[in-house]
Amino acid sequence: MIQLANLARQHAELAGPLRAAIDEVFASNAFISGPFVERFERAFTAQLGNPAVRTIGVSNGTAAIALVLEALGIGAGD
């Protein structure tokens, strides 16, 4: 078998920071919304480089797609 990616090595490099972030979320009980989502929204908005754009964190990809379709006025039959 030809290995396409060494995920174990990638995980080993990120394990410390990921574990620390997970522990911080668990310790604060901030699973939904809260400071971690706000931090992500600000960082993602900054990456876009357009201060007129506002980002909103949602629970999953399906919720994101539904929100975009609604914002564009796309509905049944389109």
Residue 70 has pLDDT above 90, yes or no: yes
Q: Which of 50, 23, 46, 54 is nearest to 36 (CA)?
A: 23
Residue 9 has pLDDT above 90, yes or no: no
Task: Give the residue, 17 or 7, on which the prediction is more confident.
Answer: 17
pLDDT in tens, 11-67: 898 999 999 999 999 999 988 888 999 999 999 999 999 988 889 899 899 999 999
Q: What is the pLDDT of residue 22?
A: 92
What does the alpha-carbon distance between residue 52 and residue 62 come to, in Å, rounded to a whole number? Answer: 25
Is residue 22 a contact partner of residue 7, using CB atoms and an 8 Å limit?
A: no
What does the alpha-carbon distance between residue 36 and residue 23 come to, in Å, rounded to a whole number? Answer: 12
Quickly tell me which residue has 């629970």 as its tokens: 59
Q: What is the pLDDT of residue 24?
A: 93
Q: Which of 31, 35, 20, 39 is nearest to 59 (CA)?
A: 31
